[in-house]
Amino acid sequence: MAACIFCKIIKGEIPSMKLFESEKTLAFLDIGPLSYGHSLIIPKYHGAKLTDIPDDQLSEIMTVTKKIASASGAENYNILQNNGRAAHQEVDHVHFHMIPKPNAEEGLVIGWPAKKGDMERLKSLCEEIKAKM
């Protein structure tokens, strides 16, 4: 936590271009943007993965993300949230990206290697997940 760059931004130890701040949430422009207006929305509560953050500390995240997307004027955009290195998370503090997608060259570029699902396995997985919720 002491070395977390986002916690340092929250504490004001590292400057940022703040877009929004409340008791629970901070939003700022990404200084290594994929496109003009790329923003980060973070809970002030430190946790590496989404499941590490208490629900009450996430209550504003999507509302703030929606407001920033709207205020950016972007007609097309991605909302992205990664959990763990294999999922391309680079900073171990939960964060949501709002990435404007003005054209094919700028913004997030995704490969989506979809496969045909095995319906029996999917039904079984569905029941397993529902039982744990």
> Is the pTM above the cut of 0.75?
yes
Residue 41: count of CB within 10 angstroms of its CB: 27
95 is catalytic: yes
Total count of domains within the chain: 1
Active-site residue (options: 38, 46, 93, 95) = 95
Domain span at residue 119? Answer: 5-132
CB 48 within 8 A of CB 11: no
How far is the CA of 119 from the CAs of 57, 112, 124, 128, in angstroms?
Answer: 36, 20, 9, 14
Q: What is the CATH number of the domain that holds 42?
A: 3.30.428.10
% of the chain residues with pLDDT over 70: 99
How far is the CA of 64 from the CAs of 3, 15, 25, in angstroms?
Answer: 26, 20, 8
Instruction: Copy the structure tokens of residue 15.
Output: 């400057």
Give 32-76 pLDDT, tens digit per residue. Answer: 999 999 999 999 999 999 999 999 999 999 999 999 999 999 999
Instruction: List the single range of 96-100, 111-115, 121-125 with lowest mean pLDDT.
Output: 111-115
User: Given pLDDT bands bounded at 50, 70 and 90, which one contains residue 19?
Assistant: very high
CB 50 within 8 A of CB 40: no
